[in-house]
């Protein structure tokens, strides 16, 4: 959904505390019809990028917004079952964005960055960017002002219905366009609605290969990297996700797949999925399968074996909601996520720091300096930057 100029003006008025009751109602009503939380976050990102919100917002106003938003969010989430805590409603999504505004302005570039060189403020967060490639050789760079694309009857358009420049209009009858590949680079994210109505969100440095039309017998896609799926239920056509040596069989459900590394993680939010090991690619593995319940995660280990554990869904799906949520996570794992999202390299001067654990929550739409400052204050690591390489040493 494109954010119109009127909403942007209301958003700026809200920040500056010049909004009247009717305008506040209009703004919250807009957030109430946003389907995806990151659309709200994109509004903030565009405002920051255009510099339209950097002037005239007092520290007192930012503090008031942040505290109020946090209180409203906590009230909304109280007494919810664990497995749906991650799925924040539209009003709470607005609160998260506004809290992100507070973090940004409190740490905005015109202020000294405690403990870090100011050049770190030049490393901005990722944003909507991706390429779409068809098997006839056509490759299109997708519009960064759009949040995603829709595939319908073989034709592809942006989520708001507009056409994709550089892509010939199709009525879906072209048999050559049998599959397509949506790819996000480091520092990118994008969404897609597949021909059956299934929704997929791709994280940075990820790839989704899908058919322009699904077969009558079933639906299959291939994922590399990380993606969140909301499967359109169709019991006559099971949905399969192939990711490296793992197969995920679903009917109608929501789940996340992380296959960046050799250890593949599948986290179930709702419904049920069956995770299977492809023994052809892992001949020495024990093989087998697991059925997950909401809140459970299946992990394919390096030796090819499957294990199942209960996890904190809000942490596992933080990226989907525009957050970093590290819960006793090793610094090497944290830095891998930062490197993908901010499109930077990482160098450890002290290998022992890799296994130190951290707990921290931050918006993904801050500059990298804000996140590094937070980590530096809570651990033994010191962060410096050279060009686009984050160098980590012991304090």
Which of 362, 355, 363 has its CA nearest to residue 380? 355
Per-domain residue ranges of the chain: 5-106, 127-313, 316-394
Written out in words, the top-level CATH class of the domain with range 127-313 is mainly beta
d(CA 69, CA 75): 10
Residues in the chain: 395
> Which pLDDT does position 82 carry in this prediction?
39
d(CA 151, CA 159): 9
- Are 70 and 95 in contact by the 8 Å Cβ rule? The answer is yes
User: pTM score, two decimals?
Assistant: 0.72
Instruction: Tell me the pLDDT of the chain (395 aa) as tens digits.
Output: 445 667 667 766 766 667 787 777 776 666 554 444 445 555 554 554 444 444 444 444 444 444 444 444 444 444 444 333 334 443 444 444 444 444 444 344 444 444 455 444 478 899 999 999 988 888 999 999 898 999 987 789 998 888 887 665 544 445 444 889 999 999 999 999 999 999 999 999 999 999 988 988 899 999 999 999 999 999 889 999 999 889 999 977 999 999 998 789 999 999 999 999 865 544 444 568 899 999 999 998 877 788 999 999 989 999 998 889 998 999 999 999 999 999 999 999 999 999 999 998 888 988 898 899 889 988 899 999 988 999 999 99
Question: What CATH number has the domain spanning 316-394?
Answer: 3.55.50.30
Q: For residue 129, give both structure tokens.
A: 């960017």
> Which pLDDT does position 31 carry in this prediction?
56
- Are 164 and 158 in contact by the 8 Å Cβ rule? The answer is yes
> Which pLDDT does position 34 carry in this prediction?
43
DSSP string, 147-166: -EEEEETTEEEETTSPPPTT
> Which pLDDT does position 92 carry in this prediction?
46
Q: Which residue has the tokens 């720091």?
A: 353
Calculate ∠ Cα 56-61-62, nearest 5°.
90
Helix (H/G/I), strand (E/B), else coil: 68:
helix
Q: How many helices (H) and strands (E) does the chain have?
A: 8, 24
Helix (H/G/I), strand (E/B), else coil: 303:
coil
**Common-topology check for domains 127-313 and 316-394:** no
- Are 257 and 249 in contact by the 8 Å Cβ rule? The answer is no
Alpha-helix residue ranges (DSSP H) falling in the chain: 5-16, 21-33, 37-49, 59-77, 90-106, 313-316, 331-342, 368-378
Which of 310, 193, 294, 206 has its CA nearest to residue 258? 206
Q: What is the DSSP letter of 218?
A: B
- Are 269 and 255 in contact by the 8 Å Cβ rule? The answer is yes
Distance (Å) of CA 280 to CA 108, 242, 245: 52, 13, 8
Q: Residue 333 class from Cβ within 10 Å (0-12 exposed, 13-18 middle, 19+ buried)?
A: middle
> Which pLDDT does position 83 carry in this prediction?
36
> Which pLDDT does position 375 carry in this prediction?
92
Which of 220, 186, 178, 218 has its CA nearest to residue 202? 186
Which of 45, 31, 43, 10 has its CA nearest to residue 89? 31
> Which pLDDT does position 347 carry in this prediction?
97
d(CA 207, CA 278): 20
Contacts of 256 (CB under 8 A, 6+ apart): 226, 227, 228, 229, 265, 266, 267, 269, 316, 317, 320
d(CA 188, CA 387): 20
> Which pLDDT does position 120 carry in this prediction?
46
């Amino acid at each position: 959904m494109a954010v119109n100029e009127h909403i942007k003006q209301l958003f700026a008025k809200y920040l500056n505390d010049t909004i009247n009751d009717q305008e506040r109602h209009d703004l919250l009503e807009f957030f109430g019809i946003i389907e995806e939380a990151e659309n709200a976050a994109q509004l903030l990102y565009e405002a920051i990028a255009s510099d339209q919100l950097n002037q005239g917002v007092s520290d007192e106003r930012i503090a008031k917004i942040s505290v109020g938003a946090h209180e409203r969010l906590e009230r909304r989430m109280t007494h919810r079952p664990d497995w749906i805590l991650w799925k924040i409603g539209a009003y709470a999504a607005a609160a998260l964005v506004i809290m992100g505004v507070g973090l940004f302005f409190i740490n905005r570039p015109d202020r000294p960055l405690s403990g870090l060189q100011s050049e770190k403020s030049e490393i901005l967060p990722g944003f909507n960017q991706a390429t779409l490639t068809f098997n006839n050789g056509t490759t299109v760079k997708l519009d960064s002002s759009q949040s995603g694309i829709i595939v319908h009857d073989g034709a592809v358009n942006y989520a708001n219905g507009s056409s994709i420049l550089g892509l010939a209009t199709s009525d879906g009858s072209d048999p050559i366009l049998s599959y397509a590949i949506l790819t996000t680079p480091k520092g990118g994210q994008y969404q897609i609605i597949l021909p059956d109505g299934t929704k997929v969100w791709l994280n940075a440095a990820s790839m989704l290969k899908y058919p322009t039309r699904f077969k009558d017998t079933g639906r299959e896609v291939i994922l590399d990297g990380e993606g969140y799926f909301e499967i359109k239920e169709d019991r006559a056509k099971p949905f399969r996700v192939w990711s490296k040596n793992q197969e995920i069989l679903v009917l109608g459900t929501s789940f996340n797949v992380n296959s960046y590394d050799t250890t593949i993680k599948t986290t179930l939010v709702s419904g049920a999925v069956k995770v299977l090991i492809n023994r052809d690619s892992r001949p020495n593995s024990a093989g087998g399968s697991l059925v997950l319940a909401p809140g459970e995660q299946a992990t394919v280990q390096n030796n090819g074996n499957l294990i199942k554990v209960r996890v904190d869904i809000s942490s596992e799906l933080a990226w989907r909601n525009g957050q970093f949520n590290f819960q006793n996570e090793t610094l090497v794992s944290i830095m891998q996520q930062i490197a993908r999202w901010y499109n930077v390299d990482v160098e450890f001067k002290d290998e022992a720091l890799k296994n130190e654990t951290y707990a921290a929550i931050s918006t993904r739409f801050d500059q990298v300096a804000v996140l590094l400052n937070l980590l530096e204050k809570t651990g033994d690591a010191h962060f410096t930057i050279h060009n686009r390489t984050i160098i980590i040493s012991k304090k």
